[in-house]
Structures are given as structure tokens and as C-alpha cells.
Amino acid sequence: MLEARNVTVAVGRQRLLDRVSVTLAPGELVVVLGPNGAGKSTLLGCLAGARTPIAGRVTLDGRPLARLEPRELARRRAVLAQNTVVTLPVHAEEVVALGRVPHADAATATRRVVAAALDTADASAFIARSVATLSGGEQQRVHLARALAQIWPDDGTAARYLLLDEPTASLDLAHQAQVMATARALADAGHGVLAILHDLNLAAAVADRLVLLDGGRLAAAGPPAAVLVEDTIARVFGLAADVVARPDGRGPLVVPHALGPRPLSERGSRP
């Protein structure tokens, strides 16, 4: 289990996280929600071991992340960042193969995993393409393949953890669904997946649990139907919405109230 307990992160006097606790168990897909600046990426950084809290602790199977060897940690968890731009003339195959570095595979094993990861991310067509020539969404799929390759579950010894920071932000609708279906399948196979999303309805459709942050604090946590309620949405997002049942029965459906046109300020209306 990957766990953050009473984690606090501060920059100067500003607290980015204030005593936040989150668990991610094998077999779970947890989605973190919240408005901009709520502390979502900061929490993911703590869970990844990339950010050290000033209070609280983060553990993997009861062991503090700081005490794990970097290679051991890299074999157990992978991170897909919000924006990873590649400008060097490297092929997608080479980028994905970086995920296998902690495993010291033979070349044939690396090629097998790289091909499988690219196929899972629907990025096989880019295997010999320079990543710098790909669109933002296409690059995102290559980086997803790299993260999958890093924790490719091929030895059955321990659960792996995939941490996704806004993985659907630059993707078209079909690939948004595919990425979250891949995350769901990984969790169903006994691994842990945590994703930061802004789409409440996509989160409700795929997640086992939601974690809702607001101003660096935990605003709500639990099953989608318990977190996505009208009062909580209004309080955290400042948005009136109706919450109804999805036609397919997979969680609640959030329908924001129609917004009227927002008038330009006097200053903004000037040419």
C-alpha cells in the first residue's frame, strides 16, 4: 500500500498541503479532484517521493519512501507528469525504453515490454518517429507508454503503482476514455493507480474512490456518489450543479447549471 499520512507541505508561510492523508491500495483506482491550486500535484509529488513534506510521512508497504533505494522505488512506482516536452531528436521507442532502465533487462526483454507498452497506449505507430515531431496528445501517449513500461507487471512479485497527473488534458475524447480504461484495467489486475483529473464525470465513471482537495486540505473522500454531491460541488468549486444518476448506472453525473454571459470589465472592454 502507498500511503500519505498527515502530510504538510509549505513554501514560505503558504501551506500547499495541510495534514492530508491518502491511501492507495493494490487493486484501487483513486482519482484526486479539486480546483486549480488545491494541492493536487503537490500531493502526487509527495506520493511519488519527489517532494518531501515538512510534517507527516509517506510510506510504501509500511516503509518510508526516503529509505527505499532509488532503483527499488522506480521498479514499484511510475509517474506521468502533466507536461513532458521532448525537443531532442529521439524516437518514441527510445523514450519508452527509458522506463526499463531500473530493471536492467536483456535487450530482447526490453523490446518486448516497449512494444507491449506502446500498443497499450495506442502509440505503436510512433515507434520509429521522432518524439519532437509528434503533437502534444501523441507525445502524452508515448510518455504513458514509458510509465507503463517502467512498472510493467511481468514478474508477479509485488503490486506496482502508477501516478498520473492530468493524463487526459491534451487527449481527444476517444483517447481520454482509453487512458482511463487502461488505468482501470491495471487496477483490476491488482495494482494501484492514482490519477488527477478535472473532469468530474470521467472521474465518477472510473474511480473506486475520490479524494477532493480544497485549499491544500482534504474536503471530502470516499466513493463517487458520496463525494460528488451538490452542496460539496458548490462549496469547493463555486458552481451550482445538479447531480443525477448516469444512464449506465456507473456513478453520478454532474450537470452544471447553465451560465449566462459574463460582462467584460470596463478595462477589459477597451480595444
Give residue-wise pLDDT tens across range 74-100. Answer: 999 999 988 776 667 789 999 999 999
Average pLDDT over residues 123-141: 89
pLDDT value for 267: 53
Question: Is residue 191 included in any domain, yes or no?
Answer: yes
User: Grid coordinates in use for 43?
Assistant: 500531493
pLDDT at 176 over 70: yes
Q: What angle do CA 210, 221, 65 make, to 5 degrees?
A: 80
Tally of structural domains, the chain: 1
Question: Is residue 159 included in any domain, yes or no?
Answer: yes
Average pLDDT over residues 187-202: 95
Residue 196: pLDDT band (50, 70, 90) is: very high
Question: Is residue 268 included in any domain, yes or no?
Answer: no
Q: Is the dihedral of CA 221, 223, 225, 226 positive or negative?
A: negative
pLDDT value for 3: 96
Distance CA 79, CA 165 (A): 8
Q: Are 15 and 215 in contact (CB under 8 A)?
A: no
**β-pair type (209-214, 217-222):** antiparallel
Q: Which of 99, 136, 144 is nearest to 119 (CA)?
A: 144
Question: Is residue 261 included in any domain, yes or no?
Answer: no
pLDDT value for 87: 66
User: Grid coordinates in use for 271?
Assistant: 480595444
pTM of the model: 0.90
| Least confident among 15-19, 202-206, 262-266 | 262-266
- Count Cβ atoms below 10 Å from residue 154 Cβ, excluding itself: 12
Average pLDDT over residues 46-65: 94
| Least confident among 112-116, 155-159, 193-197, 198-202 | 155-159
Task: Give the length of the chain.
Answer: 271
Contacts of 114 (CB under 8 A, 6+ apart): 93, 96, 97, 99, 100, 127, 145, 149
Question: Is residue 178 included in any domain, yes or no?
Answer: yes
pLDDT value for 246: 86
Question: Is residue 49 included in any domain, yes or no?
Answer: yes
Question: Is residue 262 included in any domain, yes or no?
Answer: no
Residue 15 corresponds to which amino acid?
Answer: R
Average pLDDT over residues 122-137: 89
Question: Is residue 239 included in any domain, yes or no?
Answer: yes
pLDDT at 149 over 60: yes
Q: pLDDT digits over 228-247, tens only?
A: 999 999 999 998 999 998 88
Distance CA 234, CA 221 (A): 16
Residue 131: pLDDT band (50, 70, 90) is: confident
pLDDT value for 226: 95
Q: Are 77 and 160 in contact (CB under 8 A)?
A: yes
Ramachandran angles phi, psi of 178, nearest 5°? -65, -45
CATH of the domain at 96: 3.40.50.300
pLDDT value for 271: 47
Range of the domain at 214: 2-256
pLDDT value for 264: 63
Q: Are 241 and 256 in contact (CB under 8 A)?
A: yes
